[in-house]
Structure 1
Amino acid sequence: MGRPGTGGGVRGGGVRGGGVELPESEWVPMTLDTPFDLASLTKLFTSVAAVQQIERGRLGIDARVSAYLPDFHAVRRYGTTVRQLLTHTSGLRPELPLYACADDTERLELLRAEEPASAPGTYVYSDLNMLLLQHVLERLTGRTLDVLVDEGITRPLGMTSTDFGPCPGAAATEDQRRPWAKVDRGMLRGEVHDENAWALGGVAGHAGLFSTGRDLAVFCRTLLNGGSYGTARILGADHVDLLLDRPGLGFAVDQAWFMGELAGRGAAGHTGFTGTSLVVDRATDTFLVLLANTVHPRRRQGGSGPRARAGTRVARAVRGVGASGLV
């Protein structure tokens, strides 16, 4: 986990400078209850909400998206399916500059007109898949995504610290300014970091959730338990398998670049741009949650080496490797 950093409104540095922190005397200590901006870990909750509708027979996994969104004419022409959205095989490009649109009407029209940039069936990781899935779910159920996540996942599981923002007390993310950011927003704390999610009001299929380590531990244990936690049941075991079995629905499977040695026997998880990651390993009945604010005070080039090393440490610990073998 990472240091929460500064409060809001901090500015400074020239165009070529870095993000600015408050003096160390004003830093906010991190606690076990500190919420973090989950970034793309939000996609896992959107995926669970979709599979809940599949389990109930309301959503067809191989149905065409146009069956639910007939006004989205571009994906209608290409026959894009729900499964393709969940497996990032729709061919849609990674993102659109929704943050640059004048209003929600313009943002919606941009999504409706967006055609696949690659042949359908080709893997291209894309935020647009989860944004389209959000529209499918909201059109299908008549409920907004934040309500679906609350009613179907977080409230039944007692995850009281997990919600879409704003989230007072969350770890700070970025002193968001050009040229490194896409918009000028100043120091972000408790507001979603992702620019498109921010432009969409903070509730988006690809980003927007805040949570704590404790709450995510409950989420992971629920998946490892086959969809149940205590007296709550959010999915049946066969539909949890649908999420976690290769190739995964929303979840990435056996990706050593962020799982380390947890990868290889069906581990599933995801990463988030702000510095978060989550892995569930059914082979060892183990999960790993990593929360950090590595975009604070500004985003920079990096990698997932710390994530992979954490996964390797956990894997070796649960598989009985001695301490001298840990990296």
Structure 2
Amino acid sequence: MPLSPAQEHDLVHRLRHLLDSAVANGDIPSAVCAVAVDGKALEPVAAGDSVKYGNDGGLLAPSARVAAAAETMYDLASITKIFTALTCLVLVQGGVLDLDAPVSRTLAAYRGNPDRETVTLRHLLTHTSGLAPTWSGWRRRPFPQAPPDVRSPRRRELLDDLLAAGLLHRPGRSFAYSCVGYNTAMALAEAAAGTPWPDLLTSRVLDPLAIPDLTFAPGPDRCAATEFCPELGRGTVRGRVHDESAFVLGGAAGNAGLFGTASALLAFGERLRAGFPELLPAAAAEQMWTNQLPELMGTAAAAAAQEAGGYGQGLGLRVGQTGWMGRSAEQARGHNGFTGTSLLTDRDRRVTVVLLTNRVHPSRTSSDIGSLRPAVHETVYSALPPVDGPRLLTPEA
């Protein structure tokens, strides 16, 4: 059941108060929140300045700042992983990839080691491959002033370095969140399809969904600024991916690189809630939604991992990660991003919530949204009417 106009107005007012307070307290420089309830998108709420510090890291005069608005594009950071998993599933449906075949069949770098030869795409997309969380190969070379072309020798060398990373654990034995795994999935998809990653994700997912304002190549003037990085010669980053490994791998990677507005990501989240009928059969879409850990790790190990981390893991989606989703979101799915972004969607409660901030502006240590995310989600959940069961629908958002 949708909210009444009065209930919508009250929810938007409460969300605006939360965002304004977070900006006033210095928790974030800016934010835009978008919500859909039972298929209806509410008015987006914006607060703060999307550009508050200049290219030298100094605080801008009030007249020089750029106010956040519904049209502001944010670096989505690790929310990109949902799009990566979806692209891989579309390729699986097309016979280009296989979820459970060893990636060594396609990636020569994974041959010659018994454990690495058992790594599968499913392992990569569920963070159970045994790969390390991050890759430091970008630190061993001069940081480029611009992302290398996806066909350049430099990018190939860097990707080869990433693919040479050893395993910390045997595949399927433990859960460890891994950006390396998602960039390995990117390399696998590129090799199998013979297409550069940004072209692959765009042609297989973004173009068919036809949602404006989701892109790897935003216009900088529309973008919220992120971190001031003088040690890398980047100044204040704006309109280019903040994540260093994604930047050196071409600016568009499996772990990060997408930009979008809150309304665009909300529309994507509503398609996710409906199961992407334009892209996937229902059984394939359910692979994203279903917690994969019990089948991969065994029930006892998966239960221990979930108890330690407080959530499960689908293909690309966190399952009930209540630490940032909120205590009412045990059945929700979604992902958050390092730059201060998040997407949550809940089939049972028929709701999708997007919160985009640039909390790393001007520094990753200068602000914190640890309390804002769950507060926003709990505010939305508290406004929802009771439901008599889940309902999938063609969203209007």
Match of 2:242 in 1: 193
Cα distance per residue 1:222-245 (max 9 Å; x no partner): 1122213xxxx1222222111011
2:54/2:60 contact within 8 Å kept = no
Match of 1:280 in 2: 345
2:53/2:60 contact within 8 Å kept = no
Cα distance per residue 1:61-92 (max 9 Å; x no partner): 11111112123347764211111101000111
1:50/1:137 contact within 8 Å kept = yes
Match of 2:80 in 1: 42
User: Within 5 A, what are the aligned runs for 1:87-236?
Assistant: 87-102=126-141, 103-121=154-172, 122-168=174-220, 169-178=222-231, 183-228=232-277, 233-236=278-281
Q: Which whole-Å CA distance do the structure 2 matches of 1:258 and 1:8 have between them?
A: 27
Q: Partner of 2:237: helix, strand, or coil? A: strand
Asked if residue 80 in structure 1 is aligned to residue 80 in structure 2, the reply is: no
Deviation at 1:310, TM superposition (A): 1.4
Deviation at 1:20, TM superposition (A): 2.6
Q: Partner of 1:62: helix, strand, or coil? A: coil
**Closer, same or farther: CA 75–56 of 1 in aligned 2, 3 Å:** farther
1:166/1:190 contact within 8 Å kept = yes
Which stretches of structure 1, 4 residues or more, deviate above 4 A after TM superposition?
A: 74-77
Structure 1 unmatched ranges of 5 or more: 12-18, 322-327
Match of 2:384 in 1: 318
RMSD: 2.1
2:50/2:223 contact within 8 Å kept = no
**Closer, same or farther: CA 34–74 of 1 in aligned 2, 3 Å:** farther
Q: Which whole-Å CA distance do the structure 2 matches of 1:42 and 1:75 have between them?
A: 30
Q: TM-score, normalised by structure 2?
A: 0.72
Match of 1:24 in 2: 62
Aligned residues: 305
1:41/1:207 contact within 8 Å kept = yes
Deviation at 1:7, TM superposition (A): 8.1
Q: Which moved more, 1:51-60 or 1:187-196?
A: 51-60
**Closer, same or farther: CA 212–186 of 1 in aligned 2, 3 Å:** same
Q: Which whole-Å CA distance do the structure 1 matches of 2:354 and 2:113 have between them?
A: 35
**Closer, same or farther: CA 216–76 of 1 in aligned 2, 3 Å:** farther
Q: Partner of 1:5: helix, strand, or coil? A: strand
Q: Which whole-Å CA distance do the structure 2 matches of 1:208 and 1:107 have between them?
A: 17
Cα distance per residue 1:289-319 (max 9 Å; x no partner): 1100000111116352211111212222224
Match of 1:64 in 2: 102
Q: Which whole-Å CA distance do the structure 2 matches of 1:193 and 1:222 have between them?
A: 26
Asked if residue 253 in structure 1 is aligned to residue 319 in structure 2, the reply is: yes
Q: Which whole-Å CA distance do the structure 2 matches of 1:254 and 1:5 have between them?
A: 30
Structure 2 unmatched ranges of 5 or more: 1-30, 33-47, 142-153, 292-312, 388-397
Q: Which whole-Å CA distance do the structure 1 matches of 2:160 and 2:198 have between them?
A: 22
Give the counterpart letter for 1:143 in structure 2: T
Q: Which whole-Å CA distance do the structure 1 matches of 2:218 and 2:54 have between them?
A: 15
Q: Which moved more, 1:118-127 or 1:159-168?
A: 159-168
Q: Which whole-Å CA distance do the structure 1 matches of 2:372 and 2:52 have between them?
A: 26
Q: Which whole-Å CA distance do the structure 1 matches of 2:65 and 2:353 have between them?
A: 27
1:171/1:190 contact within 8 Å kept = yes
Residue identity over aligned pairs, in percent, reads 36
